[in-house]
Structure 1
Amino acid sequence: MRRLELVFIPTPAIGHLIPAVEFCKLLVERNDQLSITILLMKQSFDPKLTHYCNSIAASLPSAHGIKFIDLPDVAAPAANKTFFISMIESNKSHVKAAVSQLMAGAEPPRKLAGFVVDILCTCMMEVANEFGVPSYIFSTSGAAYLGLLLHVQDLHDNQGVDSVEFKDSGAELALPGLVNPLPAKVLPSPLFDKDWLPIILDMARKFRESKGLIINTFLGLESHAITTFNENKTKMSPPVYPVGPILNLKGRSDDHIKEEEIMEWLDHQPPSSVVFLCFGCTGSFSVDQVKEIASALECCGHRFLWSLRQSRYKAGGLPVDFSDLRDVLPDGFLDRTVGHGKVIGWAPQARVLAHPSVGGFVSHCGWNSILKSIWFGVPLATWPLFAEQQFNAFEMVVELGLGVEIKMDYRRDRVMFGDEEDFVSAKEIEMGIRCVMDRNNERTKRLKELREESKKTLMDGGSSYVSMCSLIQDITDNML
């Protein structure tokens, strides 16, 4: 009989929600004392979130121990750079009301064991404090990135150094979680912004107040960063629980006909011959940049599968599939490449990476995509766009030697932060593709080893399995 209730508060974005739900599944499978309620905040820019949650809820048996609660609508915050964080803050009263109602109506009676809040939802720790229960942070980014945020906060609060000062500088930072010095040019854009920086600093302070940091990574991948946390070199950080890789390998396609068409095309390609270009649910480019990518693909001559989507960046929406690809691609491109290339819209990323014909992956370096490239052993060419992706690219290429660079400091969000739009030449793209498709190197050998380790770490006795057991023990000990 389940006795302990955990409340999960994920960020309402598909790249945050999916790993949170997959992690919840693992928790209730490992311990039948736990029940989990996932509170879902509403937002308007990604309608697929609701469909995803409904399909997950329908697929779980009633005795599984996981349920979803939709929070009420909140008034739309003012349209500015930090509106998303304002929207999350506006949900605090709804979270308090939902948890109060949940515990009052629980049958059989349960004890509230704590909150697990997404890295962007640290304001909800204040609600947990009102209920007198601990909070854990769930990070969908890597351990080294958390170390970066804690270091930036330490520099600001204890040494009077503001990361905004590093913008456009050639400075390099010595981070406790990295072996190599970090160039300031690959710091996340929000760390250079006077509106975003106070939000990030407050988040990092709350990390230190939490009961633990749950990270979607594993010891074999980020051993130095994790060891640094455990040795307390990050100055008063809470316990770290690396529990990854937490992945949803089934995808979420609504168009099974198109998906099977993609897989059938891959079936007809030679092993390890196809370079896959995919930039996540937020990835898109200007028309001029699309033409450079097309030119690079023609010049390099490799077989390719290219997930190309139409930008709605300036309108504040997520990309959508083009109604006619000929509107954006160079004249005659589709005809000239018909024998060895395929341009698509949304891609079933996990299924594509699992296919034996795929030999390279040009990626935006979202952490979920990085973990998938490792899980399937597909070499990575880094082309970051937003958020912490530039930092992730540095970690993959320089720190861990697992990727090749296309342009590590490319920023699709430059316009939002007041700069001119960035650009990558066809020559740079071509060089990156040629390099990632060359499999005779130490990088490929290391990736093969990590592929095996990424699976073993989740099995009984693996490092992530043991870490999750420690986390569950800590949660249950809270109730003693």
Structure 2
Amino acid sequence: MSSVHAVVFMYPLQGHIIPTYNLAKKLASKGILVTVVCTHGCYARIIKAYKGRDPFAHNVYSMRSALVSDGLPQDFDRSLNHLEFDNALLNKMEFHVEELMEDLQRKGPPISCIITDTFYVWPDRIAKKFGVPHVSFWTESVMVFSIYYHWDLLIKNGHYPFTADENELINYIPGAPALKLTDLPSYLQERDVSTLVHKIIYQAFRSARAADWILSNTIEDLENQTIEELQVQSGIPFCSVGPLLQPKGEVGTSMWAESDCRSWLDNKPKNSVLYISFGSYAHVSKPQIHEMAMGLLHSKRPFIWVLRPDVVASDVQDLLPDGFVEKSKDQGLVVEWVSQVDVLSHSSVGGFLTHCGWNSILESLWLGVPMLAFPLLTDQYTNCRLIVQQWGVAMSLGHISRSSNNLRSTLVLRQEIALTIKEFMNMDGQEGKRLRCNIGSVRDVMKKAVMNGGSSQNNLEGFIEFLKGRELSRFALESEFHTE
């Protein structure tokens, strides 16, 4: 058994679970003993989605799992009750984490480090109490991390809360280009900055400043300047180890039951299908869902639309316009959830209308599928800036307006949706050719990063050497103590 024991805490949201679990598997494949920790609420949903199968029990590496309470009952509806969920993460979960750490220490082997999602507020205190290194794992783009990390500069320059002209440029974030308000994460666009979410973000980044290492699910060659500036500003080793993607066909950690769309896709021409998904967390207004549905119909392009049941709210039913399913039955397919990697890797899929979640972006880039950007909240606005303006691998759908209460404040109408989809899905058009050329270049960079000698591979091995070296030093000190 490995002498290095890493305890990896997954944040209880789907978009965070996927890269964290894949990081845990990578570490375990390198001979590290990993205890991966999931909350009871998330675990129950994953088990239900997989009809009783435990994905954490199907791993050939040196991994084991543990459960921890987030401070709420297991069957509590976290999607419908955001305030109670946020309050539990901020004020209740730490007590249960401490209990789990004590239990793991008693059972052994000794804990070498904790690896925690950056959005947890307690890692620095837990690490100090148990005398172990704290590794902060950032699941989003480094540009977003830098913006949050330099929150103080937004305050100093009068841009938080933002009361000036919304077109005024923010040109002082180290390593970032000049940004508009609508390029910032949505929580930094809001006028009310006293919410529980804002408190969580503030306290989480205060904790991250005390980390011993920061690992990031990005690619150094794509965000090199931002990473270099953060290294200088923070003095903390900041290592990109991405993309951390679920391999096609491998058992995943989805909180929704997945539909199998392969037979439907098999009957469609190459690059003809538009795949649409708003991710696992973002909410969309019911009027926007209706406009999107009618825009898809008018576009006359084949589509697969992932429409999870709580995309408006978990207590809202009848999401689609009357008659939509019947009218679109020969054109498209509406499902609650899919294996996104499996769909994007199918040859009939030619484009991805995405909310610009970071996992979705990395998967789309890795599989060479251009994107139609429709950001909804949090980091997605900044991610949209990256993929549309900097990397040129996506088109924007509609004018990007200021976020309001985690919803786009401007409705994108069906006519614009239909026209944009037609242009985007035209493989022979000038825009289509440009996007596919650019995405090929970015994909090559990503592939190179994870090969032997690539930046992500080297960074991961450097981190593992740090853990092994620290463990050897600790063992030597203990041996010296016992000899005396």
Short-chain TM bin: 0.7 to 0.9
Moved more, 79-88 or 436-445: 79-88
Q: Which residue of 1 aligns with 2:180?
A: 183
Q: Which residue of 2 aligns with 1:468?
A: 460
Q: Are residue 239 (structure 1) and residue 237 (structure 2) matched?
A: yes
Displacement of 1:245 after TM fit? 0.5
Q: TM-score, normalised by structure 1?
A: 0.85
Q: Which residue of 2 aligns with 1:303?
A: 302
Q: Which residue of 1 aligns with 2:445?
A: 453
Q: Which residue of 1 aligns with 2:380?
A: 389
Unpaired segments of 5 or more residues in structure 2? 474-484
Q: Which residue of 2 aligns with 1:400?
A: 391
Displacement of 1:70 after TM fit? 1.3
Measure the CA separation in 2 of the matches of 1:96 and 1:50: 27
Q: Greater relative contact order: 1 or 2 (C-alpha under 8 angstroms, separation 6 or more)?
A: 2
SS of equivalent residue, structure 1 residue 182? coil
Q: Are residue 200 (structure 1) and residue 188 (structure 2) matched?
A: no
Displacement of 1:50 after TM fit? 7.0
What does the per-residue CA deviation read over 1:151-206, in whole Å, with 9 as the maximum and x for residues that have no partner?
223444xx374521358733221254555311112322322322243432332232
SS of equivalent residue, structure 2 residue 65? strand
- Kindly indicate whether the alpha-carbon contact (under 8 Å) linking 2:275 and 2:351 is maintained by their aligned counterparts in 1: yes
SS of equivalent residue, structure 2 residue 377? coil
Measure the CA separation in 2 of the matches of 1:40 and 1:197: 24
Moved more, 297-306 or 76-85: 76-85
Q: Which residue of 1 aligns with 2:479?
A: none
Unpaired segments of 5 or more residues in structure 1? none
SS of equivalent residue, structure 1 residue 112? coil
SS of equivalent residue, structure 1 residue 138? strand
- Kindly indicate whether the alpha-carbon contact (under 8 Å) linking 2:284 and 2:312 is maintained by their aligned counterparts in 1: no
Superposition CA RMSD, Å: 3.1
- Kindly indicate whether the alpha-carbon contact (under 8 Å) linking 2:365 and 2:442 is maintained by their aligned counterparts in 1: yes
- Kindly indicate whether the alpha-carbon contact (under 8 Å) linking 2:12 and 2:42 is maintained by their aligned counterparts in 1: no
With over 3 angstroms needed to count, the CA separation of the structure-2 counterparts of 1:284 and 1:309, relative to structure 1, is: farther
Measure the CA separation in 2 of the matches of 1:466 and 1:44: 32
What does the per-residue CA deviation read over 1:407-465, in whole Å, with 9 as the maximum and x for residues that have no partner?
46357x7346xx89542111332243234324443331121122233233212111110
Q: Which residue of 2 aligns with 1:7?
A: 7
User: After superposition, where does 1:277-292 map in structure 2 within 5 Å?
Assistant: 277-283=276-282, 285-292=284-291
Displacement of 1:240 after TM fit? 1.0
Counterpart residue type for residue 229 of structure 1: L
User: After superposition, where does 1:348-387 map in structure 2 within 5 Å?
Assistant: 348-387=339-378
Displacement of 1:82 after TM fit? 7.2
- Kindly indicate whether the alpha-carbon contact (under 8 Å) linking 1:166 and 1:184 is maintained by their aligned counterparts in 2: no
- Kindly indicate whether the alpha-carbon contact (under 8 Å) linking 2:45 and 2:256 is maintained by their aligned counterparts in 1: no
- Kindly indicate whether the alpha-carbon contact (under 8 Å) linking 1:5 and 1:36 is maintained by their aligned counterparts in 2: yes
SS of equivalent residue, structure 2 residue 115? strand
User: After superposition, where does 1:318-333 map in structure 2 within 5 Å?
Assistant: 327-333=318-324
Measure the CA separation in 2 of the matches of 1:421 and 1:182: 19
Displacement of 1:389 after TM fit? 1.0
SS of equivalent residue, structure 2 residue 148? helix
SS of equivalent residue, structure 1 residue 396? helix
Q: Which residue of 1 aligns with 2:477?
A: none
SS of equivalent residue, structure 1 residue 455? helix
Q: Which residue of 2 aligns with 1:414?
A: 404
Q: Which residue of 2 aligns with 1:84?
A: 86
Q: Which residue of 1 aligns with 2:478?
A: none
Q: Which residue of 2 aligns with 1:67?
A: 64
With over 3 angstroms needed to count, the CA separation of the structure-2 counterparts of 1:92 and 1:344, relative to structure 1, is: closer
Counterpart residue type for residue 280 of structure 1: G
Measure the CA separation in 1 of the matches of 2:460 and 2:454: 10
Measure the CA separation in 2 of the matches of 1:153 and 1:237: 17
Counterpart residue type for residue 374 of structure 1: L
What does the per-residue CA deviation read over 1:116-166, in whole Å, with 9 as the maximum and x for residues that have no partner?
11011141220111112211111110111111111223444xx37452135
Q: Which residue of 2 aligns with 1:164?
A: 161
- Kindly indicate whether the alpha-carbon contact (under 8 Å) linking 1:242 and 1:467 is maintained by their aligned counterparts in 2: yes
Q: TM-score, normalised by structure 2?
A: 0.84
Measure the CA separation in 2 of the matches of 1:144 and 1:242: 12
